Structure 1
Amino acid sequence: MAAGGSTAAALGAYIVFEGEAGFAMTPPHARTWSRRGRYPVVRVRGRSRRRISIAALACYKPGERPRLIYRPRFHLPWKGARKSFAWTDYRDLAVRAHLQLGAPIVLVWDNLNTHRSAGMRQYAADHDWLTIFQLPSHAPDLNPVEGIWSLLRRGALANVAFTDPDHLTRTLRRALSQIQHRPDLIDGCLTETGLTITPNLTLIQKASVPVNWPPVRA
């Protein structure tokens, strides 16, 4: 998996992994404590169609603090309302990362059709600071952002009875802010993938999984 790292080294760039996930009013289940003989019960409101999607970037560069940058999308309960990120949302998130990091970025993400849209590909081709690589198909274990979602579901969101969508939104923002201030957690998400970024920005895959990363733009 050295291709993405070699490109990043040549550009002095961050290697940035992207992932997205949806969160609803029904909380994820997690282990908890209860009185002996009492089964713990969390009472929640009836099924809600209100959902929040979050696209997040885990940003890495040797010698620099890892960063977490995210963008929420609120699903409106209207007929015909879009329920997913558009390619322009991903473009805007990449621009935000470029400005916050103050460096070019090598963006690594999965093969979602929106990621491979003509508009996104053309935008990358027109901007020297952005290079895009696709992860192998069906390889979420290679994306450290999956670890971010795991931290949320096992931590701040677990077994919580959300009173309304605003409660869910506040909880998500607070939890993501806490992770942003814990670079050790963001580093740990990378370690969990089995990937290592060397000082010369070579991305090494420790696990023996076949990988082919064709860049959108050389």
Structure 2
Amino acid sequence: MPGWQPTHYSRAQLEERRLAALAWIERGTHRSQEIANHFGVSIHTVYTWKARLRRNGGLQATIASGATSRLTAAQHEQLRTFLREGAVHHGFPDPTWTTRRVTDLIGRHFDVWYHHDHVRKILRQLGFTPQMPDGRAAERNELRIASWKEQVAPELEKKVAEGATLVYLDEVGFSLKGVRRHTWSTRGVTPLVTLPANWEKLSTIGAITSDGRLFQQTKSGAIRSGDVIRFFQHLLRHVQGEIVVVLDNAGIHRAKATQAFVGLHERLSLVFLPPYAPELNPIELVWAYVKRNVLGNFCARSVSELKAKLVTAWQRVRYIDLPRQLMNANLCRDQ
């Protein structure tokens, strides 16, 4: 049994073993087989060590320099600039970068052609990582959104400072078809999730407030203007003082019945978000959390089972104090 046994053969430990063997080799009192047995290596390894000692004068580790990069440092910086300019700027039909597109970009500008798999390494060296892009509606008006942030958002903060409660309201649907998420499985075997053929759904109207509370009501089918009015009544019963509801431009929010109800209540007012700007409504993150962390890969067999799962979801959202976390983050972002 060898006398020298590291727990893990890391690069440092392999060098430690070689340097320990060096003393035995230089002493010249041990045969090669004895050295091999003591350090747990083959006799051929000992012969290699001795030849290396004669050639280099030591057994210290050498650092492999690797192949010289075919792109200069200046070209790497230029490539980083090209990537930040976006794929559309460089003639591609959409703004996503793929390794094949970057390979083409490098070839066109620098006349250096890599395999697209190697381009992954270059991208990481430049500080780029693979990410899932967010979807944005083509109909977005960025100027209008910027104007809302600059003019309306500060006014909302003033309202809060004066004692009003902001209420970020939205609706969401939950279907029996479920939300499929990544899971673990045997390599090469795709896991199966059994889904019911009947894709009934539940709809939730909900809101989070500037003081970190969550309100929600869930029903079968779609949310109508009457449901919005009933939810407003619920808010008026549970929220004191002035209520400023921030919501999108859905038809049920602008319906005549909805507007008439708001007109009858002085302490209730509506502020509409710019179209196609869900990122301005923090309750969207509550919906995303529920679908990802509670309903992910959950396959309800009936609407009642799905509704029971949603009860658990709302309890969990309140337990982790998610609304307050989101409102605090939203306030810090606006400042």
Q: TM-score range by the shorter chain?
A: 0.7 to 0.9
Please give the secondary structure, in 1, of the residue aligned with 2:166.
strand
Shift of 1:100: 1.9
- 1:3 aligns with one of 155, 173, 194: 155
Shift of 1:49: 3.7
Corresponding residue for residue 138 of structure 2: none
- 2:176 aligns with one of 14, 18, 25: 25
CA deviation vs aligned residue, 1:68-101 (integer Å, no higher than 9, x gap): 10011202xxxxxxxx322221121122122223
How much identity, in percent, do the aligned residues show? Answer: 23
Please give the secondary structure, in 1, of the residue aligned with 2:331.
strand
Shift of 1:37: 4.1
Q: Partners in 2 of 1:27 and 1:122 — Cα distance?
A: 37
- 2:326 aligns with one of 164, 168, 189: 189
Correspondence 1:1-218 to 2 at 5 A: 1-10=153-162, 12-46=163-197, 48-61=198-211, 66-75=212-221, 84-183=222-321, 185-190=322-327, 195-196=330-331, 205=334
Unaligned runs of 5+ in 1: 76-83, 198-203, 207-218
Q: Partners in 2 of 1:123 and 1:101 — Cα distance?
A: 17
Which structure's CA Rg is the greater one? Answer: 2
Please give the secondary structure, in 2, of the residue aligned with 1:188.
helix
Shift of 1:44: 1.8
- Alignment TM-score, normalising by the size of structure 1: 0.76
Unaligned runs of 5+ in 2: 1-152
Moved over 6 A (4+): none
Aligned CA RMSD, in angstroms, stands at: 2.0
Q: 1:158 to 1:7 in 2, by over 3 A?
A: same
Q: Partners in 1 of 2:205 and 2:199 — Cα distance?
A: 19
CA deviation vs aligned residue, 1:18-68 (integer Å, no higher than 9, x gap): 01111111111112222444322211222x14110101101113xxxx111
Shift of 1:3: 2.1
1:29 aligned partner, one-letter code? R
CA deviation vs aligned residue, 1:168-205 (integer Å, no higher than 9, x gap): 1111111112212322x22333466xx317xxxxxx73
Contact 1:4 1:133 in 2 (8 A): no
Q: Partners in 1 of 2:180 and 2:293 — Cα distance?
A: 10
- Greater strand share, structure number: 1
CA deviation vs aligned residue, 1:102-151 (integer Å, no higher than 9, x gap): 33311000011110112222222221220110011110011111101111
Q: 1:34 to 1:188 in 2, by over 3 A?
A: farther
